[in-house]
Structure 1
Amino acid sequence: MRSAFVTTLALFGAVKAAVQGFDVSHWQSSVNFAAAYSSGARFVIIKATESNNYIDPKFSTYYTAATNAGFIRGGYHFAHPGETTGAVQANYFIAHGGGWSGDGITLPGMLDLESSSSSQCWGLSTTAMVAWIKAFSDRYHTVTGRYPMLYTNPSWWIACTGNSNAFVNTNPLVLARYASAPGTIPGGWPYQTIWQNSDSYTYGGDSDIFNGAMANLVKLATG
């Protein structure tokens, strides 16, 4: 039986459309969700948690505002690999807003994988990092029935996972690259599901481009 994500890959590969979205956290003191929706944006990813001891203070407010404005929305978790296990951080994320439901307006959670202020790879080997991500991903899937989206940039993925292709058939890629095109896709993914193309979006946060038509975005949310 084909996995839901493999089926989704086939759908995305056939389309050329795109849907504007954005992501936000407490670093944005105010976000104009209504204006963003009016401008054509249709999805929002909101920071929910970090490590296993931090809840973003704006998450609840922004999640409610995004819902009221009509957005497809979801949460993201800023990973601290190596501090606690992937499963522990997945549980924390799910318990504090990062879960998924098949209501058609909730995206699977996103795992934010990037450097800390002091260490690119959080002190882990490439093998240990892949194992940590897999533990998070598997736990999220066990609890919610969906695999999380993985947010990363090519240099981090190559340096910290050895350019692993272990997640190609399960986890949608959210690619961070601030440029005029997505460029080379790491990790064996044939393309990105979402492209974070700018760290400055008119109505708040970072600009995200969904790689597909609105029907495909709804499919991602529905599962």
Structure 2
Amino acid sequence: MNSDRQDEMQNRRWDTADNAIRSAVDRVRPAADRIGAWLAPFIQRVLQFLAPLINRIKETPAARRLRERVAPRVQEAREKLPEGNRTRSMQLGAAVAAVGVVGLVIGSATSGPSQYQVDQAAQSGRIPAASPVTPEQVEAAREQGVDAKPEQLAAAAEKKQQNQQPEPLAPVGPPVEGIDVSNHNGTNIDWNKVAADGKKFTFVLATDGTSFTNPQYDAQYHGAKDAGLIAGAYHFARPGSSSAEEQANRFLDTIDYRNDGKTLPPVLDLEVDPKSGGCYGKSVSEMQQWTQTFNDVVKDRTGKDPIIYANPSFWKQCMGSSDFSDHALWLASYGVDEPTVPTGFEDWDFWQYTDKGKVAGIDGSTDLNQFQHGIERLKQLAS
């Protein structure tokens, strides 16, 4: 029997084997779908239960060493596999198809029905390349001193993400006293005297609407910080004059925000229209959208959810008591022993309780405030 005849017969055997694999997968697929649907709730609970353990195991030294040893061999196998080698292609295709059948069960349990292209899997002759490593993974690996191999970079990035747990809240302490100032308070503020008078924080007007910038902002803001106060900047919103994006970006371009442990999140000051006493000619839904857009810009640029300044009547009238409970609330309410928290917030964080306060180092009256939760939580808010 000549070699051409042998090759032809061998090719027929390969084709027969490929067809058998695809036929077997097609027969198994309906049963796998039914089994997957039946097992889905159970598998989901098991995976949720095991996820923390699996993540811990993945980060053990032994697991990392195993990944490092296996990865080069997988790469070598991939490089040695010729594109046209039918025998190895069929063998790998059979393995991929078998994994695909199991994937039908697991996939349907973890992510719903999947459209597997089993024919393509059975004929595939290449092991899929690893996902590209992102710049964030490179940075995470370098910070941890990991060699820049793709498998190590991915593991380092995953570990860094797992370690970024929220800092536990400090214990609640006695209320902390502070003030807020604007251009009306001038430049002759003796911030050392303010600090000696027991004030721990201040808010400083930075911008108003579309065009006004407090000419005293830099002196007031940095003067307070230099005296040891925790400082924050606020923007007086005018939703009727320009877009939320424009006002937010102008505000952020002005305030010199820094995540330095001495700076409170930026503040959005929401009050009724000074000219009309209304809601700037906007509906409740339009006011809600304007506010959310402003907040999104601040969060994108600083990583912080802005503090919201408002009073109960404004929040009900113009904001429809909408839920912004994921933001700290700076509540304006004068002449009461305990302020009423607007619907949409769980509690107040800062309380502006008078505009007729007297503070050492400041001529005339100024606004007085409290932070409800104590100095340690105030420091956490500024971190």
Q: TM-score, normalised to structure 2's length?
A: 0.53
Gaps of 5+ in 1: none
Q: Residues of 2 paired with 1:163 and 1:64: CA distance?
A: 35
8 A Cα contact 1:149 1:172, kept in partner: yes
Partner of 2:198: 40
Alignment of structure 1 residues 136-175 onto 2, 5 Å: 136-165=294-323, 167-169=324-326, 171-175=327-331
Give the whole-Å Cα distance in 2 for the aligned partners of 1:202 and 1:47: 19
Aligned runs of 1:112-191 on 2, under 5 Å? 112-119=269-276, 120-165=278-323, 167-169=324-326, 171-191=327-347
CA distance in 2, matches of 1:88, 1:128: 16
1:96-117 Cα deviation digits (max 9, x unpaired): 01x5322110011111111222
User: Does 2:357 match 1:201?
Assistant: yes
Residue 88 of structure 1 aligns to a residue whose secondary structure is helix
Q: 1:108 aligns with which of 265, 273, 277?
A: 265
User: Does the aligned pair in 2 maintain the 1:108–1:221 contact within 8 Å?
Assistant: yes
Measured after TM superposition, the shift of residue 52 of structure 1 is 2.1
Q: Normalized per residue, which structure has more strand? A: 1
Q: 1:11 deviation in Å? A: 4.0
Q: TM-score, normalised by structure 1?
A: 0.89
Question: Whose RCO is larger (CA < 8 A, sep 6+)?
Answer: 1
Query: How many residues of Structure 1 are paired with residues of Structure 2 in the alignment?
Result: 213
**C-alpha displacement of 1:184:** 1.8
Letter in 2 for 1:179: G
Cα distance in 1 between the residues matched to 2:350 and 2:283: 27
Matches of 2:310 and 2:297 in 1, distance apart? 19
2:297 and 2:331 mapped to 1: Cα distance?
A: 22
> Aligned equivalents of 2:240 and 2:193: distance in 1?
40
**In structure 1, how many angstroms separate the alpha carbons of the residues matched to 2:343 and 2:266?**
20
Distance in structure 1 (CA, Å) of the matches to 2:271 and 2:367: 15
Q: Deviations over 1:118-162 (max 9, x none)?
A: 222111111000000000000100011001100000001100011
Give how far 1:200 is off.
1.9
Distance 1:113 1:182, change over 3 A: farther
What residue in structure 2 maps to residue 28 of structure 1? 185
2:312–2:341 contact (8 Å) kept in structure 1: yes
Q: Which amino acid aligns with 1:111?
A: L
Tell me whether 38-47 or 199-208 shows the greater mean CA deviation.
199-208
1:214 equivalent in alignment to 2:375: yes
The higher radius of gyration belongs to 2
Find the counterpart in structure 1 of residue 29 from structure 2.
none
1:31 deviates by: 2.6
Paired residues of 1:198 and 1:206 also in contact (CA < 8 A): yes
Alignment RMSD? 2.0
The Cα offsets for residues 26-56 of structure 1, whole Å up to 9 and x where unpaired, read as: 1113433222211211101000001121110
Percent identity of paired positions between Structure 1 and Structure 2 = 34
| Structure with the largest fraction of helix | 2
Contact 2:202 2:232 in 1 (8 A): yes
Once the two structures are TM-superposed, the CA of residue 16 in structure 1 deviates from its matched residue by 5.3
The aligned counterpart of 1:84 is: 242
Q: 1:182 to 1:101 in 2, by over 3 A?
A: farther
